[in-house]
Amino acid sequence: MVFTACSPLPGHDLGMLGLTNHSKVPLRLATMCGFATAALSLVAGMGYLVAKLVFWDHFVLGTAPVVVGLCFFASIQLFFTGIVGEYIASIHTQVLKRPHVIEAERVNFSRSENSQ
């Protein structure tokens, strides 16, 4: 393997750090995708139940419930991973101790109040 100074990996690392350090969008996306996939797997499970009751003799046993259950539990896991990530991101934001407001100047305050 040849390593050069123009490797794309530092750029990829910088891009990923820029996306994850300053944005909660990937975490919220994971939460929303987990919730949407859980809802879809529940709808698919209900559809499978209705189809199984209507066409009792034509279904193979065990295949669809395993797939629906796997998708449901994977989506629940993705949902809670997004929730925990949101919590960690909020802790990270508070630890940075950034000011809530950046003042350009204060108007109508005395000098002694400005220094505090």
Q: Is residue 64 part of a domain?
A: yes
Residue 104 confidence (pLDDT): 78
Task: Tell me whether residue 13 is in a domain.
Answer: no
Residue 111's pLDDT is 67
Given this model, what pLDDT does residue 3 score? 55
Helix/strand/coil (H/E/C) assignment for every residue in the chain:
CCCCCCCCHHHHHHHHHHHHHCCCHHHHHHHHHHHHHHHHHHHHHHHHHHHHHHCHHHCCCCHHHHHHHHHHHHHHHHHHHHHHHHHHHHHHHHHCCCCCCCCCCCCCCCHHHHCC
User: Which residues constitute the domain of residue 87?
Assistant: 27-100
**Residues in the chain, pLDDT under 70:** 1-10, 12-14, 16-22, 98, 111-116
- The verdict on residue 92 lying in a domain is yes
Which pLDDT score is estimated for 29?
A: 83
Q: Looking at residue 5, what is its pLDDT?
A: 60
Torsion from C-alpha of 99, 102, 106, 111, nearest 10 degrees: 40
20 within some domain: no
The answer as to whether 19 is a domain residue is no
User: Number of folded domains in the chain?
Assistant: 1
pTM greater than 0.85: no
